[in-house]
Structure 1
Amino acid sequence: MRRLPYFCSGCPHNSSTKVPEGSQAQAGVGCHYMASWMDRGTGGLTQMGGEGTDWLGRGAFTRVPHVFQNMGEGTYFHSGYLAIRQAVAGGANITYKILFNDAVAMTGGQPVDGQTSVPQICTQVASEGARKVVVVTDEPQRYQGVALAAGVQVRHRRELDMVQRELREIAGVTVLVYDQTCAAEKRRRRKRKSYPDPARRVLINPEVCEGCGDCGTQSNCLSVAPLETSFGRKRQIDQSSCNKDFSCAEGFCPSFVSVLGGSLRKGTAAAPAQDPEALAAALPLPALPSLAQPFDLMIAGVGGTGVITLGALIAMAAHLEGKGISVLDFTALAQKGGSVVSHVRLADTPDRLHSVRLLPGTARTLIAADLVVGVLPDVLGVIGEGRTRVVVNTHLQTLAEFTRQPDLPYREDALLAKIEAAAGAAQVERIDANATAKALLGDAIGANMLMLGHAWQQGGVPVSLAALMRAIELNGVAVAANKRAFAAGRLTAADPQWRQTLMGDRGSVVTLNLPQSFEKLLDERVRFLTDYQDARYARRYLDTVRRVEAAERAVAPGARRPRLAEAVARSLFKLMAYKDEYEVARLHARPEFLQNLRSQFEGDFKLQFHLAPPIFEKRGADGKVLKRSFGAWMLPVFRTLAALRGLRGTPLDPFGWLAERREERALVVEYEGLVRRLLDGLTNERIGSAVAVAALPEKIRGYGHVKARGIAEYRRNLPVLLAAHDAPPPAMQPPALKTA
């Protein structure tokens, strides 16, 4: 498991670097180079201003007729324009994708060194001989009344795939200018009130979510995070990191709900007795370690979350006290969510510090703000067993691979075990700093500061409280929030019960307990299916599962858990509880969802649902059904539809005649027959292969064309697994005899 740097949440490159099926793209200098490790048919690298020159040399010697070449507008202004001129002069078949994001984002969001604009670029490349120029943007309305070169089209980013397919068929040089502001720069400007901040947030109803991952496929966004529930992995939006790109809502799924107006509910400074700063003021100050010998401290975390800031604050506090301090930051692609490690060394005087890098086994304190970074070899290497005190954040931020692997395993326990093995279990303290920061501040960005406070209260940061508070003030960023988070960290170290009280007061986004037993799993699904349809429908489900359980226990009486029965319980439930119009309406209208929504948002807000109802079906140019937005007036419609769910599957069901609904009902009957086949001749030796067959429908997820792909994959794989199950077990071979 690695912490790969990745595009920021809402980054334009999440969309702009996609290429049509069958096409290839060449990377260039800039953030967009990271598309090289995103399974996007992108590779290669050349110097700034050399984009496409390599294709001119090798294009004649390959069967690939055309390539796309990525180029940022900063590179274009610097020297990339010359690369386009050489491609035109050489007659190359190439499409330059000029990614206009209004900033030099790779190195911190500096402005482009010179004046350029989309109209200027269009005019220049057209005058140089580009055969066709197209502007693609998330806001095509901004181009109304804007003078562009003759023949230049403006298209919505939803049409990107179609536009690229058109351009790759044109011989010669074509240019696609993708215009969307850098997400990180949007965030900075919004904080300074210099960029529009749409009064809109999106969230996911986890019960409607199928966990198919299409929202991640469409958005490639790290703010679409996993949510583990007793019904499997779902999705949730990390509101703390969301940059309001909204491309996730393009996923073909009705679980997305927009909140218009209002604001995120912040952690409330409730009664004075619960104010963390007031409570922390009454705590005894820790005994800080002597600095007669250098004190080694390491901070490990994710880029962009304030890891380097923690080291800088400790350094400033030490400086204010006249102590010796050195900080060595390993940042790599830190601003893009990569691994960041800070080596911090303190002593009573500067002349006691020599090496700035921590030596193996010398760390006295490790603040592991991220589990994945915390188990890097260079981090584990500085831990000394019984010597290093570790404070570890148990919250695992979304991994880059999750955008492409919906079932990516998150092995938090295994990661924690590595840290505990290195330091000793008694030396490690766990805290979900993100959840605590959200409960207190309404934003997880305070998590690292909270961990600093926790480590300081334990005596793991040898600078005074007054010096640290002054360093926070001198930093001048979110001073009140940082002091509050630091105080909360002190409290979590001194009084763990305080955190439990805080979390109990705030609650969590979704409270769903993972099943602790087979009986609990079964009971939960029986109750759900009763609400879904009726008691008779639930009894049909229960009878089938109990029949499997009895057969399995007969052939494997000593098994601790009925594996086959559990697989059937999960898969049959998934097929029987298919999410048709009645069920989506019921789940959206549930009081629990609306209460959960109000726990996250406050103020005067309205709801907007993103649906593709069959009676209003509209298809895009690619033939796929388009989603439409509906206001809060849908809530009474949902309640009415939910009340009519008794019509489901009857001749009076207006939706039951749809091909998708007929197939869903047929799958249930087919699966019941499949279960009977698995039980026929079941033996203890065949339980493993039977489980593989029985669990296959769990991969059928999503809605519409997404679900259709899952069903097609199920039907392709089923015969293979059945053949393996039905095959006679291999005959026992006598052991090979050793010869002299």
Structure 2
Amino acid sequence: MPHTSPASTSTPALRDYQLKDNIWASQGAVFLSGTQALVRLMLMQRQHDERQQWNTRGFISGYRGSPLGMVDQVIWKQGDRFKNAGIEFVPAINEELGATQVLGTQRVESDPERTVDGVFGLWYGKGPGVDRAGDALKHGNAYGSSPHGGVLVVAGDDHGCVSSSMPHQSDQVFQSWHMPVVSPADVSELVSFGLYGFALSRYSGAWVGMTALSEVVESSTTVDLGAINAQTASWKSPQEVQALTGHVAPADGLHYRWPDLPSLRIESRLQDKLAAVAAFAKVNSIDRTVIDSPQAHIGIVTAGKAHHDLMEVFRRLNLSEDALAAAGVRVIKLGLTFPIDASRIQTFAQSLSDILVIEEKAPIVEQQLRDLFYNAKVRPTIIGKRDAHGQALLSGLGELRPSRLIVQVAQWLQHHAGQALNIPHLKVRDFVPAMMQSNASDAVKRLPYFCAGCPHNTSTKVPEGSTARAGIGCHFMANWMERETAGLIQMGGEGVDWVSHSRFTRTPHVFQNLGDGTYYHSGYLAIRQAVAAKASITYKILFNDAVAMTGGQPVDGVISVDTIARQVESEGVLALAIVSDDIKKFNPIKKQFPSIATFHPREDLDAVQRRLREVSGVSVLIYEQTCAAEKRRRRKKGELAEPTRRLMIHESVCEGCGDCGVQSNCVAVLPHETRWGRKRKIDQTHCNKDYSCSNGFCPSFVSVTGGRLRHKTGASPEARAHLMAHAARLPDVHPRSTDSPWDLLITGVGGTGVVTVGAVIAMAAHLEGQHASVLDFMGFAQKGGSVLSFVRIAATRQQLNQVRIDTQQADAVLACDAVVAASPEALQTLRHGRTRVLVNVHETPVADAVRHPDMQLQTDLLVEKMRFSAGSEQVETFNAQLLADQVLGDTLASNILAMGYAWQLGLVPVSLAALEQAIRLNNVAVESNLLAFTVGRLAAGDPAALKEQALTEPEPESLTGFIAHAIRQLTAYQNAAWAQRYENLLSQVNDVAQAADLPDDALALTVARSLHKLMSYKDEYEVARLFSDTAFQRQLDAQFEGDYRLAFHMSPPSLFKAPAGKAPRKVMLGAWMRPALRLLAKGKFLRGTGFDPFGRTEERRLERRMVDQYEARVRWVLSDVLPQIQPGQMPVLLDLLALPLSMRGFGHVKLRNVRAAQTRETWLLHRINPVQYPRPKEQADGQQLRGIAIRRA
């Protein structure tokens, strides 16, 4: 039933809004992301100059890096229109060269051959990029800006270390360069403060730094262009500034000039520039007195994002601005944080005895206030990071949040104005996370991982006995993939730390991973240093043709494998190898490579690395394979041909051993639950045609060449029409009160469209006149990691304050993925009895499942965590992917379906019309998404309509049903007598279980599954039978259509013997094998006889022996163990009887798994009967051992 919902206000949805308005609209309200704001401000500056009849141009350069990783993407999406608007964008190969390019723009105005009046320049880079470009930026600021130009230096600061190697703050370094700093608090101020920065730069001759915090630049919200235009129109001209302040520039001016040779005059001019900044700020201020009071005796100074955190504290304490003013509290928000406007602060501080400074991280403003008032006759007490007694007060660690301020602010106000303010008694839930349950699902994490078919799956492997060092790039994720990879160094320093390290260790050699983007950025200098130092190191240059970590941008320049080869050879490397997944492509251009280059297919990677690690000196291995994500993008655009070959896994042949995952490390090889246990399947939607999974030692892989994927149609047109008719009769969702914001947290998996859900909801709120913000925290999420989308909606901008949903403040959680929703980051937003949680219980595998075949997501326990934190009655579950697959034929719109479910429950506070319009504006699979949204609404509001169409989750199979299927399968496997042997033992188990009055079927089901596994071992006859069975053709027809041909990936023992220490080779056998397989299947009557040509191998003898041994084990359990078992021993007994289920695989993989199971068996027997079975001497890991790399024929 629908609850009282946070629906929209009655404001109708606007019908003429377009997504391009975000960048190009000249008036009204637009919905703008932080990155778009940086691009838009350049256009607005150009428009401002045109109104002044100045013939200027804009110029942007910098280097991508989170949170500024998508600036170039936003610009490129504008096409030629951006350049035609008078803005040039020239990406830089690194940060300092980008800053140098921007410096050049300020020379234009003094060039007698100039074609424009001036050029305003914007440099951008993440915090570490500011450090790297320090020399260029410092010199640029010292040389200065031009009167019709100006420079804005945008620093992407990651205070919370969301996607950086460490937290970062740029304010201090800007201050050390005498560079003024503006600190935007939100997306709107990114635009307005950016425009202010250009005006300030033009007047003062200084470059102006602007901080762009992660929470600001990675958020989106409604921006009022009219308010920004009005603000900029009010700024005084340079002439007015001089007239009003009496400021006079030095005789030689403040701006860029030449000659400007090295001298102390440059230093003194920096001081003159700061004086000009002070004069400009005095009459053109972006500081704002938020709360004033004629009888004020205490004051609060805020800056940047911290201001919104403070205002949220006031809201939670129910303290209005009027009440604070009446109590003598004055609040000012600083926009210019260095240098602070001394005259304005002195006016603010009049009559104040105490000032509390609230700012992010280091005490930039606080220290300036102390300096200002240190020698003053009347000095207010100034506190911030420390109180008046020198004790820690407001932490500089991490990010500020309202919950990290509320206690200190409340106590300070209580102490100084408690009699005048009615400060409520704080409850613990106001500032600490809710209690979180710890259970067996704690180890389940949604870690980012290499994409399906990623080159790094192969390229980051190292030979046994070697180690590798990580660097900047996606390949850094090898650190958590059991790849003997460790370490991190600053971008461009890769391998140089080994120069010194190598002199004090017995380790003779290391590999150093180096991305092609990093190589081009600065990494080639690291190679030069290693050569100069004669270090023994192999650089693995991972040439992937795209900067995948920040969105798939091309490397900023011309770079190729042969160019790199010639460069490193000229530097003096001693050995050079080229490895590729398509090595033949280099045959026509081999002459362009240096003579020391050797060429190898990727199957030879291990041998090549073993050779290079013996080189005494610097060697280079260039691993060439295009980024998988980039391949997918190019195929969608038609720039790269789609391979005609796909892989599929024969479900019945597959043993679920996971060796295909060991060989490929690929997330497109998914766990697949079947009646016979967990198998593997290829996710055809996300497979990028790398094919390395077929190297798993298993005959289940089939290549399908030609044809096409069969598109599932889902529900029939008649069924869809029936559902739409039911949806039209769904009850309306009632509006909610607009007295407070509505906080909706959306959790999901990167790359599945969860960010789109947040964007659609926020855009819908914008369309109908509400105010909304959305903050997406993704980190490495584009690699399948966690995504948290914080959506906040309110009637007015003043109600929104900060963009992040704070501790225990979520009104609702839409858990598109249960793993992410059960993470501490998400659970801390829940409040018991208040937060409603809608959980999609579809199990999307986590990355660890690639390496651990038996890993369980334990969704029930994940949901239990949410029930514990929010309250059982607050949590509702459903399966979005199941419904999407049944109705739409695929799961691509499952998150939109979940949004529909949430809307019908009243968890999404926008109107139906606005949401549907936002879906249309998104312009991606519009009709499919609208249908998915409607099905979600039906699932919540009229589930009976879905049941009428049989759109429900199937019931789990019973014990009786499983045994019946097993008997039929064993009859087909061998004969009726073989199946009767199975049935006889199961009858004995059932009889004893009933006599023992066991509470469930766990014992019988465990034996049923294990015995079936042993009795249906997949020898040559069974594999041939399964490939000849009509079920295989049905599986093919369900996935493919059209004219296709098959090839089988097998390793016939009669053809290929395993070399010593290596796995047997696999070959592709064509469709001619199908008649041969049908013939071989008929020979099953030879199985187990003296005439069986395959029955003498170690593997076959072991398989026959294990059937007898297990039957004996079961009879022993029934007669000796079960009658005297203790209650706590039953799980151990079930583990013992389930051991055959872990004896999976083929050949050497199966033999190793059997040995691991036998080792575990001794421990389980000891736990059941320690007297009869002594404690084993040592415990072996029960997990599957890593497979041997497969060699192709």
Identify the match of residue 106 of structure 1 among 544, 549, 552: 549
Deviations 1:87-141 (A, max 9, x none): 1222222111111111111111111011111111112222222222112211222
1:525 matched to 2:991: no
Partners of 1:571 and 1:469 lie apart in 2 by 51
CA shift for structure 1 position 30? 0.5
Match of 2:1124 in 1: 684
Code of the residue aligned with 1:270 in structure 2: it is: S
Residues 439 and 53 of structure 1: CA distance in aligned 2, closer, same or farther (over 3 Å): same
1:536 matched to 2:536: no
- Residues 461-610 of structure 1 mapped to structure 2, 5 A cutoff: 461-500=908-947, 515-517=957-959, 519-546=960-987, 557-561=996-1000, 567-610=1006-1049
CA shift for structure 1 position 221? 1.5
Please report the TM-score for the alignment, with normalisation by the length of structure 1: 0.90
Deviations 1:151-184 (A, max 9, x none): 3222222222222222222222221111111111
Code of the residue aligned with 2:601 in structure 1: it is: H
DSSP-derived class of the 1:408 partner: coil
Partners of 1:691 and 1:89 lie apart in 2 by 63
Partners of 1:342 and 1:368 lie apart in 2 by 10
1:61 matched to 2:495: no
Residues 552 and 63 of structure 1: CA distance in aligned 2, closer, same or farther (over 3 Å): farther
For the Cα contact (< 8 Å) 1:264–1:442, is it kept in 2? no
CA shift for structure 1 position 282? 5.7
Match of 2:1171 in 1: 728
Partners of 1:63 and 1:15 lie apart in 2 by 28
Residues 316 and 514 of structure 1: CA distance in aligned 2, closer, same or farther (over 3 Å): closer
Partners of 1:448 and 1:332 lie apart in 2 by 20
Partners of 2:712 and 2:988 lie apart in 1 by 50
Match of 1:735 in 2: none
For the Cα contact (< 8 Å) 1:291–1:346, is it kept in 2? no
Identify the match of residue 764 of structure 2 among 298, 304, 317: 317
Comparing 116-125 and 290-299, the one that deviates more: 290-299
For the Cα contact (< 8 Å) 1:553–1:562, is it kept in 2? no
Code of the residue aligned with 2:894 in structure 1: it is: A
1:96 matched to 2:542: no
CA shift for structure 1 position 202? 2.2
DSSP-derived class of the 2:600 partner: strand
Comparing 577-586 and 630-639, the one that deviates more: 630-639
Code of the residue aligned with 2:494 in structure 1: it is: E
Please report the TM-score for the alignment, with normalisation by the length of structure 2: 0.57
- Residues 452-463 of structure 1 mapped to structure 2, 5 A cutoff: 452-463=899-910
For the Cα contact (< 8 Å) 2:720–2:887, is it kept in 1? no
Deviations 1:63-83 (A, max 9, x none): 222111101001111111111
Partners of 2:642 and 2:838 lie apart in 1 by 36
Match of 1:201 in 2: 646
Match of 2:445 in 1: 2
CA shift for structure 1 position 307? 1.9
Partners of 1:39 and 1:51 lie apart in 2 by 20
Match of 2:599 in 1: 154
For the Cα contact (< 8 Å) 2:715–2:889, is it kept in 1? no
Identify the match of residue 712 of structure 2 among 216, 241, 266: 266
Partners of 1:439 and 1:249 lie apart in 2 by 30
DSSP-derived class of the 2:769 partner: coil
CA shift for structure 1 position 409? 2.1
Match of 2:466 in 1: 23
1:250 matched to 2:691: no
CA shift for structure 1 position 212? 0.7
Deviations 1:594-637 (A, max 9, x none): 22332233333333322222233276897422222233443333
For the Cα contact (< 8 Å) 1:546–1:565, is it kept in 2? no
For the Cα contact (< 8 Å) 2:750–2:783, is it kept in 1? yes
Deviations 1:493-528 (A, max 9, x none): 233244446665xx99xx9x75533x5544443332
For the Cα contact (< 8 Å) 2:786–2:820, is it kept in 1? yes
CA shift for structure 1 position 565? 5.8
CA shift for structure 1 position 198? 1.1
For the Cα contact (< 8 Å) 1:288–1:461, is it kept in 2? no
Partners of 1:366 and 1:290 lie apart in 2 by 19
Code of the residue aligned with 2:972 in structure 1: it is: D
Identify the match of residue 1050 of structure 2 among 608, 611, 614: 611
Partners of 2:1114 and 2:790 lie apart in 1 by 58
Identify the match of residue 448 of structure 1 among 870, 895, 900: 895
Match of 2:796 in 1: 349
Unaligned ranges ≥5, structure 2:
1-443, 1175-1193
Identify the match of residue 840 of structure 2 among 361, 369, 393: 393
Comparing 124-133 and 93-102, the one that deviates more: 124-133
Partners of 2:486 and 2:759 lie apart in 1 by 37
The structure with higher relative contact order (CA 8 Å, sep 6+) is: 1
Identify the match of residue 670 of structure 2 among 219, 225, 231: 225
Residues 496 and 616 of structure 1: CA distance in aligned 2, closer, same or farther (over 3 Å): farther
Residues 478 and 711 of structure 1: CA distance in aligned 2, closer, same or farther (over 3 Å): same
Code of the residue aligned with 1:700 in structure 2: it is: M
Deviations 1:420-465 (A, max 9, x none): 3334444433222123223344432211111112222333222223
For the Cα contact (< 8 Å) 1:229–1:514, is it kept in 2? no
1:45 matched to 2:485: no
Residues 433 and 676 of structure 1: CA distance in aligned 2, closer, same or farther (over 3 Å): closer
CA shift for structure 1 position 219? 1.3
Comparing 677-686 and 142-151, the one that deviates more: 677-686
Residues 67 and 294 of structure 1: CA distance in aligned 2, closer, same or farther (over 3 Å): same
For the Cα contact (< 8 Å) 1:440–1:502, is it kept in 2? no
DSSP-derived class of the 1:644 partner: helix
Code of the residue aligned with 2:1052 in structure 1: it is: P
CA shift for structure 1 position 237? 2.1
Comparing 464-473 and 67-76, the one that deviates more: 464-473
Comparing 42-51 and 614-623, the one that deviates more: 614-623
Match of 2:247 in 1: none
Identify the match of residue 132 of structure 1 among 536, 554, 575: 575
Match of 1:737 in 2: none
CA shift for structure 1 position 332? 1.9
Match of 2:530 in 1: 87
Comparing 473-482 and 18-27, the one that deviates more: 473-482
Partners of 1:589 and 1:302 lie apart in 2 by 39
Q: Percent identity?
A: 51
- Residues 640-719 of structure 1 mapped to structure 2, 5 A cutoff: 640-672=1079-1111, 681-682=1120-1121, 684-685=1124-1125, 692-719=1135-1162
For the Cα contact (< 8 Å) 1:300–1:339, is it kept in 2? yes
Structure with max Cα Rg: 2
CA shift for structure 1 position 675? 5.2
Code of the residue aligned with 1:266 in structure 2: it is: K
Partners of 1:602 and 1:282 lie apart in 2 by 39
Partners of 1:579 and 1:137 lie apart in 2 by 35
Code of the residue aligned with 1:526 in structure 2: it is: I
Code of the residue aligned with 1:2 in structure 2: it is: K
DSSP-derived class of the 2:869 partner: helix
Unaligned ranges ≥5, structure 1:
732-740
Comparing 478-487 and 192-201, the one that deviates more: 478-487
For the Cα contact (< 8 Å) 1:187–1:243, is it kept in 2? yes
Residues 295 and 719 of structure 1: CA distance in aligned 2, closer, same or farther (over 3 Å): closer
Partners of 1:709 and 1:730 lie apart in 2 by 23
Aligned residues: 723
Partners of 2:512 and 2:1112 lie apart in 1 by 53
Partners of 1:627 and 1:499 lie apart in 2 by 47
Match of 2:818 in 1: 371
CA shift for structure 1 position 681? 4.8
For the Cα contact (< 8 Å) 1:436–1:503, is it kept in 2? no
CA shift for structure 1 position 670? 4.2
CA shift for structure 1 position 213? 0.6
Partners of 2:751 and 2:1052 lie apart in 1 by 40
Partners of 1:45 and 1:490 lie apart in 2 by 48
